[in-house]
Amino acid sequence: MKKCNGQYLINQKGLTLIEVIISFALLSLIMLAVFQFHFFIIVNSKAQAETMETEQNLRQAMGFIEKRLREMDNQTLQYVPAQQTFKSRMKRTDGPGQITVWMDFSGRIRNSLNTWLYHDKTSKTLRVSKNREHNVLHLNIDTVEVEEITPGSLIKITLTSTPDHKGSNDTAVSHSMVMHLNYAQEEAAL
Number of structural domains the chain divides into: 1
Side-chain-side CA neighbours of 21 within 13 Å: the count stands at 3
In a domain, 122, yes or no: yes
- The mean pLDDT value of the chain amounts to 84
10-residue block means of pLDDT along the chain (190 residues)? 62 78 95 95 90 90 90 85 88 82 88 85 88 84 90 90 66 88 67
Q: Supply the pLDDT for residue 190.
A: 44
Q: Show the domain range for 172.
A: 40-185
Nearest to 102 by CA among 120, 89, 92: 89
Q: Supply the pLDDT for residue 22.
A: 94
In a domain, 9, yes or no: no
What global pTM score does this model have? 0.72
* CB neighbours of residue 171 within 10 Å: 9
In a domain, 28, yes or no: no
In a domain, 148, yes or no: yes
What residues form DSSP beta bridges with 126? 119, 138
Q: What is the pLDDT of residues 92-121, one digit of tens each?
A: 877 788 888 889 999 888 877 888 889 999
Q: What's the 3-state SS for 55-91?
A: HHHHHHHHHHHHHHHHHCCCCCCEEEHHHCEEEEEEE
In a domain, 11, yes or no: no
In a domain, 24, yes or no: no
In a domain, 75, yes or no: yes
In a domain, 25, yes or no: no
